């Protein structure tokens, strides 16, 4: 039998068949170790083949080739990846500049992961009702930076209803992934576009001003001809197994200029005749984006070496 993995708890998986039936499945122990370099070999969005067992549960025997996926470095396991979801049409990174604060470094690392598979990304600047005039100006300036690069942006608030209808239209007919820090309002946004889901929504820790984990398991829900993927919040987004040249290709504004560099293998660090460095000096490439690029190049060069040594 075949179906779509619509929920993952790490040990059990809910698989939706074409007839709408949902079967609870497991994976065999040996399946976990056969060339799998992930903490979670099966992930929400996977198309799988499974066999029914005598106890009424299924056993997943095969995963179809993924057309794309979003992965990050596993927490405390620098040489292992953790898959977030697969077979995605568009990612919606939910961003807040306070309660909790999303750093630009986190945004850029997530976008690199999306760019590696050319998955369209939209930055959803949520909780717009919380900001005063100066904070709102900061949010709009950050959104404008990413719009100029080519990313879609959206301002939302579940309190005032700002942007909810626009978000709903963007989700129609797509398999959409919601991701971001805990507490940025991912589940609340999913509830706003589809109230019948009634997902649990958490509160912000007053001591640390960070979100509490409310979504415990990755899950996807049918919506308007597509699916909504709601995933647990991410504290950090470490990249893994990207070479320097790959990172260079995953910053669109850098990719657009690198053919103008004096050297075809220019990494845009300190090479002479670098069109990217010139653009940074002239202000046509954001200095903050460039500094994040340099940080990722340096980090990923080490990560790739570790990956290849496994």
**Alpha helix (H) ranges present in 89-243?**
104-115, 133-149, 164-171, 186-193
Instruction: Work out the pLDDT band at 146, boundaries 50, 70, 90.
Output: very high
Note the pLDDT of residue 200.
64
Considering the domain boundaries, does residue 271 fall inside one? yes
pLDDT(270) > 70: yes
For 73-101, give one letter per residue: b (16+ CB within 10 A) or e: bbeeeeebbbbbbbbbbbbbbbbbbebbe
Cβ proximity of 268 and 218 under 8 Å: no
pLDDT(172) > 50: yes
The predicted-structure confidence for 233-254, as pLDDT tens digits, reads as follows 888 788 877 888 889 999 999 9
Residues 13 and 132 occupy one common structural domain: no
pLDDT(79) > 90: no
Residue of 37 and 105 predicted with greater confidence: 105
Residue of 68 and 214 predicted with greater confidence: 68
Residues 199 and 265 occupy one common structural domain: no
Note the pLDDT of residue 275.
97
Q: In this predicted structure, which of 161-170, 173-182, 226-235 has the lowest mean pLDDT?
A: 226-235
Residue 211, SS3 per DSSP? strand
CA dihedral for 38, 42, 46, 49, sign (positive or negative): positive
Domain boundary among 175, 197, 230: 230
CA dihedral for 44, 50, 54, 56, sign (positive or negative): positive
The predicted-structure confidence for 61-75, as pLDDT tens digits, reads as follows 999 999 999 998 876
Domain boundary among 230, 259, 283: 230
Residue 310, SS3 per DSSP? coil
CATH number at residue 272: 1.10.40.50
Considering the domain boundaries, does residue 161 fall inside one? yes
Considering the domain boundaries, does residue 49 fall inside one? yes
Instruction: Work out the pLDDT band at 127, boundaries 50, 70, 90.
Output: very high
Residues 102 and 248 occupy one common structural domain: no
Nearest C-alpha neighbor of 214 from the set 229, 199, 226? 199
Q: In this predicted structure, which of 7-16, 75-84, 125-134, 223-232 has the lowest mean pLDDT?
A: 75-84
Q: Which domain does 196 fall in, by range? A: 69-230
Note the pLDDT of residue 215.
54
DSSP 8-state secondary structure symbol assigned to residue 54: T
Note the pLDDT of residue 13.
95
Residues 150 and 219 occupy one common structural domain: yes
CATH number at residue 118: 3.40.50.300
Considering the domain boundaries, does residue 131 fall inside one? yes
Note the pLDDT of residue 41.
87
d(CA 253, CA 285): 7
pLDDT(158) > 50: yes
Considering the domain boundaries, does residue 236 fall inside one? no
DSSP 8-state secondary structure symbol assigned to residue 103: P
Residues 199 and 261 occupy one common structural domain: no
Note the pLDDT of residue 77.
57
Quickly count: other Cβ atoms within 10 Å of residue 252's Cβ.
Answer: 13
Residues 159 and 37 occupy one common structural domain: no
As a whole number, mean pLDDT of residues 187-213 equals 64
Note the pLDDT of residue 36.
58
How many domains does one find in the chain?
3
Instruction: Work out the pLDDT band at 303, boundaries 50, 70, 90.
Output: very low
Note the pLDDT of residue 180.
94
């Amino acid at each position: 039998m075949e179906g779509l993995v619509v929920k993952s708890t790490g040990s059990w998986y809910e698989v939706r068949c074409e007839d709408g039936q949902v079967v609870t499945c497991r994976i065999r122990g040996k399946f976990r170790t056969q060339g799998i370099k992930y903490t979670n070999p099966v992930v929400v969005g996977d198309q799988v083949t499974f066999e029914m067992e005598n106890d009424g549960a299924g056993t997943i025997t095969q995963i179809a080739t993924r057309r794309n996926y979003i992965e990050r470095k596993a927490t405390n396991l620098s040489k292992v990846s953790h898959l977030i979801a697969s077979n995605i049409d568009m990612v919606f990174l939910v961003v807040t500049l306070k309660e909790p604060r999303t750093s630009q470094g986190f945004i850029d690392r997530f976008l690199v992961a999306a760019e590696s598979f050319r998955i369209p990304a939209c930055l959803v600047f949520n909780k717009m009702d919380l900001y005063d005039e100066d904070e709102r100006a900061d949010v709009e300036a950050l959104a404008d930076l990413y719009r100029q690069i080519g990313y879609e942006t959206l301002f939302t608030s579940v309190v005032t209803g700002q942007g909810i209808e626009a978000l709903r239209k963007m989700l129609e007919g797509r398999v959409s992934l919601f991701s971001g820090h805990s507490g940025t309002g991912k589940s609340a946004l999913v509830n706003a576009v589809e109230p019948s889901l009634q997902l649990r929504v958490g509160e912000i820790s007053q001591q640390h001003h960070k979100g509490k984990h409310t979504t415990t398991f990755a899950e996807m829900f049918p919506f308007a001809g597509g699916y909504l993927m709601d995933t647990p919040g991410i504290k950090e987004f470490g990249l893994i197994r990207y070479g320097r040249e790959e990172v260079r290709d995953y910053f669109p504004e850098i990719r657009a200029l690198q053919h103008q560099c004096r050297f075809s293998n220019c990494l845009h660090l300190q090479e002479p005749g670098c069109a990217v460095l010139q653009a940074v000096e002239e202000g046509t490439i954001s200095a903050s984006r460039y500094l994040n690029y340099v940080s990722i190049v340096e980090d990923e060069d080490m990560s790739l070496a570790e990956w290849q040594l496994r």
